[in-house]
Amino acid sequence: MEIGKSYSPEEIEDKWYEFWEREGMFQPRQDMQGEPFSIVIPPPNVTGSLHMGHALNATVQDVLSRWKRMLGYRVLWLPGTDHAGIATQNVVERELAKESIDRHRLGREEFINRVWQWKAEYGGKIIHQLKKLGASCDWSRERFTLDEGLSQAVRDVFVRLFEEGLMYRDSRLINWCPRCHTALSDLEVEYEETDGRLYYIIYPLADGPGALTVATTRPETMLGDTAVAVHPEDARYKNYIGRMIRLPLAGRLIPVVADESVDMQFGTGAVKITPSHDFNDEATARRHNLPFLNVMTEDGHMNSEAGAVYAGLDRTACRRKVVEDLKLLELLDSEKKHKHSVGHCYRCKTVIEPFDTIQWYVKIESIAKEAIAAVQEKRIHLIPEGWENNYFGWMRDIRDWCVSRQIWWGHQIPVWYCPDCATSEGHLQGELIEHIFFEPFGLRDGLEIAGGTYAELRRKGMSHADIAASSKIIRIPRQVKPLCSRTDLTACPSCGSGQILRDPDVLDTWFSSALWPFSTLGWPDETPDVKAFYPTSVLVTGFDILFFWVARMIMMGLKCTGEVPFRDVYIHALVRDAKGQKMSKSKGNVVDPLTMIDRFGADAFRFSLAAFAAQGRDIRFSEERVEGYRHFINKLWNATRFMVGYTEFRSVVAPSAAELAADTRNSWILSRLSHCADDVNRNLGAYRFNEAANSIYHFIWHEFCDWYLELVKPDLYGDDAAKKRVVADCLFFVLERVVLMLHPFMPFVTEELWQRVLEKKKSITHAAFPCDLPCYPEAERRMTLVLDIISGIRSIRGELNINPSLEITVQMKTLNDDALEAVEENRASVIKLTRCRDLQTGRNVSRTKGSAMFVTDSVVGYIPIEGLLDLDAEIARLGKEKAKVEEAIAFFNKKLMNEDFLKSAPKNIVEKDRAKFEELARKNDKIADNLNLLKTIQ
RNA sequence: GGGCGAUUAGCUCAGUGGGAGAGCGCUUCCUUCACACGGAAGAGGUCGUAGGUUCAAUCCCUACAUCGCCUACCA
């Protein structure tokens, strides 16, 4: 078997991925053996491409999936993407804008066709990228939130909630994005500290002299004011309560009301109330039964209610004009700089507008209670646990979820309205439904019409279809009865009219994402996948979508299936740049995972991410680390290359660990291997990926390569075939298990080593993960003794700068038979590793007067250095060591002199410390002896 | 305003109620037949500050400082 001098990832990665996919390696095992283990991927946006967050997220899931697969579980890792309603629609609308096409002109159906076309062409780029990373997803089960089955699940849940009264329409202020032209949920608003201005405006009393001055950051909204509020206890304003004000610019009369929510300290202590354009004011207005006056349009312009002077102005232009006009009237008292936080649309960063609309809401309180209980009762574990408080805090404070969006790309709400039916008050519903056209509709008589009520438009001769196709906005008041249905309605169930209107809105993308853990498995049907894989085992995600997604999945899972959607939630860190900054396109500090894969290979990149993934802290990504792990792979590669040279000496039938253990070096490394495997299994089970990765790293590099490989070289280089066989068998035994343990982290190189180099017949993906290997504590003890001796000698060589090519004599006085045996057993190794010409051992070895010295627990060794080096260096070295030992002696002495310590500390601790003290004291004596000797001959 | 987390070697970070750890970087030596993407040996830290609990604190508690993050209706 030929093997290259260094590892080249680019040559093998694609090959193995194709092999795995072709062979169906990532599908759950068909023999139905093994406990199920399932993960659904957090569906990335279909518009997205792989970033570091995805890479970490996918790596963690893949490590878990591959590990469990090797442990014999029936593993399903289900991949897919979500349709990202607003984001995707924005992308396609921008495309259309280049051709000057408005989606309304195109029509809903045709627009959605275009989006599907776009998706077919550009969407799902991320899927390909996940494959580059090595993700072992079952692609045959890939899902998309707009798939038929998932759409059915969405509709089913909507209807269910509707029927239970948990899905309702309501009129209230929501966060509105005037650019995306849709409602947003509370979570979709990003607040940002902004330098604004606080304007002090004089509001004159209508019924006499005097005025109130109010402070506002948004003067343009004054056009919608319907009151001024002061605190009831505010002495300054007590006399104003109940009086009327003539609202400047508008001329309306508005009352002064008393409300405890007013902060007397802020501004002037008098606050203008704009119920339709401010969340606080909305609440105040409801308490005082104040009228709501909407002065804006859906796209952020002033409407006719704002007055003829301002109607049609953009909200920022209007602000300027209002301020100007107030100045002219001398009603602008003053203005000053003011820092405050302003909400922006998380998709397009436009300043959001609190806007009074009718939307669909999910009544969340009862569902949230269940979701809190599930975590409290530990039916769901959040890992790290620290996130629980965050979760509880948010869930207890939760408000009803606004789920309707005024866009087209998504799951259209399964609700219809009949214009021909009457409301319970007896009004014809068609008279209440209001249409606004995206462009004037030309009637036969040449007149153009911009909109109107449904009934009115029909009377003017427009057809039902024309009305529906021309509408940009349809306002359907709450009195109009919603007809909710699992199947598409073509006629009104009560009056039979075929001319019914469908609710134009679609559902929040997160609504469908909330069903992801079960809708992807085929729910609401009781499919075999649902039975086998639900609830899923673990969800792996970042904390940034804990509320957006995780909390909602828990709520919907419990609500729809009666079960938790997953048992564990592993919440990983955010990947930052090397300086700790959040990666963002605008900062230009994003690291592209694919670039990392190109440069270092997917395995090194993945291993880095796993090694970085300590719980509870953000990750600072550094390329140097990735490079380091590439070196690590190269190390393993070369160790393998070395070993392959001894393949021919292996036994025909690979021996068991017990047979190998006859040799102490073997039993030692097997024991270390066993500890390593335990560490890896335990740490992976506890989601401590960094610990698991470090454990393997350390074992391979520092125990297997640095020690074992070097220890057995004398045998491999020798002529004794039997000895060669003993160590060659062990080398391969360890290598195979090491490769297996690395596989979840480094799938590509391990498969290459497994199949091509170790010439295994089947893929490593389903090979058994090492666990419960035998331990040999006695061998560990004995080898530690030998390794200490080697280190002691090397330390002298290093510190005294004895040339490596120079062979030395070692006079080693063993303090007990055990030590003598251990050294004799490993004589060849000790000689080789210390470049020693003459190794004298025994209880009574003679010692040369001018010698360097080392002390271990069980031996005192002397290296004659006369002629090798000047004595001063050794005297200095020993002096330094003596100082260290004395420091330690002082530490333990102080402890052991303390009666409270002897009285209160556990016996084993006291004993341990006493033993250490005595050992140090002996060591100190030996060093002192030698120092004196050296000084005498100096 | 509320909450959470961090503070350990030059850098990035693990970690534990009983003599401080890793990786990288640094210093010295070595192109010895797996690997210079390497080997060997070193240097380097009153574990943020001040108190407290304990026989014993880097670890537990309290306060403070600095830096992050999340959250909130500062009009």
Closest by alpha carbon to A229, among A284, A292, A181?
Answer: A284
How would residue A1 be classed by pLDDT, with cut points 50, 70 and 90?
Answer: low
pLDDT tens digits for range A107-133:
999 999 999 999 998 888 889 899 999
Residue A547, CA distances (Å) to A185, A393, A777 in order: 12, 11, 49
Rg, Å, chain A Cα set? 38
CB-proximal positions of chain B, under 7 Å: 3-6, 12-15, 18-19, 22-24, 28-35, 37-43, 54-56, 68-75
* Predicted pLDDT of residue A603: 95
Residue A340, CA distances (Å) to A101, A193, A792 in order: 38, 5, 66
Q: What angle do CA A830, A675, A695 make, to 5 degrees?
A: 90
Nucleotide nearest the Cα atom of A230 (by C1'): B75
* Gap from A619 CA to B12 C1', Å: 10
3-state secondary structure A629-652: HHHHHHHHHHHHHHHHCCHHHCCC
* Gap from A654 CA to B33 C1', Å: 27
Closest by alpha carbon to A188, among A57, A86, A49?
Answer: A86
Name the one residue in this structure whose structure tokens are 């339709």: A276
Residue whose Cα is closest to the C1' of B67? A580
Residue whose Cα is closest to the C1' of B2? A393
* Predicted pLDDT of residue A704: 96
pLDDT tens digits for range A727-773:
999 999 999 999 999 999 999 999 999 998 888 889 999 999 999 99
Nucleotide nearest the Cα atom of A339 (by C1'): B74
| Residue A580 pLDDT exceeds 80 | no
| Residue A824 pLDDT exceeds 90 | yes
Q: Tell me which DSSP letter residue A203 carries.
A: E
* Gap from A623 CA to B13 C1', Å: 15
Q: Please give the structure tokens belonging to residue A538.
A: 């673990």
* Gap from A71 CA to B40 C1', Å: 39
Residue whose Cα is closest to the C1' of B4? A390
* Predicted pLDDT of residue A850: 81
* Predicted pLDDT of residue A584: 74
Three-class SS state of A526:
coil
The sign of the CA dihedral A575, A579, A581, A586 is negative
* Gap from A911 CA to B56 C1', Å: 15
* Gap from A614 CA to B61 C1', Å: 26
Give the phi and the psi of residue A222 in degrees, each rounded to 5.
-60, -25
* Predicted pLDDT of residue A18: 95
Closest by alpha carbon to A375, among A108, A558, A598?
Answer: A558
Q: Tell me which DSSP letter residue A272 carries.
A: E
Q: What is the pTM of this model?
A: 0.92
* Gap from A643 CA to B23 C1', Å: 27
Contact A265, A227 (CB under 8 A): no
Nucleotide nearest the Cα atom of A273 (by C1'): B75
Residue whose Cα is closest to the C1' of B29? A801
* Gap from A571 CA to B12 C1', Å: 22
CA distance A230 to A401: 32
Residue A32, CA distances (Å) to A75, A532, A533, A838 in order: 10, 10, 12, 63
* Predicted pLDDT of residue A384: 85
* Gap from A691 CA to B16 C1', Å: 15
Cα atoms in the Cβ-side hemisphere of radius 13 Å centred on A151 = 14
How would residue A576 be classed by pLDDT, with cut points 50, 70 and 90?
Answer: confident
* Gap from A396 CA to B2 C1', Å: 15
Higher pLDDT, A566 or A390: A566
Residue whose Cα is closest to the C1' of B68? A580
Please give the mean pLDDT across all residues of chain A.
90
Higher pLDDT, A677 or A443: A677
pLDDT tens digits for range A630-665:
999 999 999 999 999 999 999 989 899 999 999 999
CA distance A672 to A657: 13
What whole-number percentage of chain A has pLDDT above 90?
60
Closest by alpha carbon to A185, among A555, A476, A548, A516?
Answer: A548
At position A21, the amino acid (one-letter code) is E
Q: Tell me which DSSP letter residue A276 carries.
A: T
Instruction: Report the greatest alpha carbon distance in chain A.
Output: 125
* Predicted pLDDT of residue A3: 76
What is the DSSP track for A142-170?
A: -EETTSHHHHHHHHHHHHHHHHTT-EEEE
| Residue A364 pLDDT exceeds 70 | yes
Closest by alpha carbon to A565, among A601, A525, A519, A504?
Answer: A519
Residue whose Cα is closest to the C1' of B38? A635
Higher pLDDT, A702 or A348: A702
For the beta carbon of residue A887, count every other beta carbon within 10 angstroms. 10
* Gap from A553 CA to B14 C1', Å: 33
Nucleotide nearest the Cα atom of A272 (by C1'): B75
* Gap from A688 CA to B12 C1', Å: 19
Across the range A201-219, mean pLDDT stands at 89
* Gap from A888 CA to B55 C1', Å: 19
Q: Please give the structure tokens belonging to residue A845.
A: 């070895």
Closest by alpha carbon to A480, among A459, A504, A501?
Answer: A501
**A689-698 vs A664-685: helix crossing angle, rounded to 10:** 170
Nucleotide nearest the Cα atom of A877 (by C1'): B42
* Predicted pLDDT of residue A2: 65
CA distance A785 to A779: 10
Closest by alpha carbon to A754, among A61, A6, A4, A16?
Answer: A16
* Predicted pLDDT of residue A868: 66
Nucleotide nearest the Cα atom of A888 (by C1'): B19
Three-class SS state of A48:
coil
Nucleotide nearest the Cα atom of A265 (by C1'): B74
How would residue A505 be classed by pLDDT, with cut points 50, 70 and 90?
Answer: very high
Residue whose Cα is closest to the C1' of B22? A694
Residue whose Cα is closest to the C1' of B69? A618
Across the range A608-612, mean pLDDT stands at 90
Nucleotide nearest the Cα atom of A919 (by C1'): B19
Higher pLDDT, A249 or A606: A606
* Gap from A386 CA to B5 C1', Å: 10
* Gap from A616 CA to B48 C1', Å: 20
* Gap from A595 CA to B23 C1', Å: 22
**A602-612 vs A52-70: helix crossing angle, rounded to 10:** 90
* Predicted pLDDT of residue A4: 79
pLDDT tens digits for range A767-815:
999 999 999 999 999 999 999 999 999 999 988 888 888 889 999 999 9
Nucleotide nearest the Cα atom of A187 (by C1'): B71
Nucleotide nearest the Cα atom of A543 (by C1'): B70
Nucleotide nearest the Cα atom of A612 (by C1'): B13
Nucleotide nearest the Cα atom of A573 (by C1'): B69
Residue A272, CA distances (Å) to A221, A332, A859 in order: 9, 14, 88
Residue whose Cα is closest to the C1' of B12? A620
Residue whose Cα is closest to the C1' of B56? A901
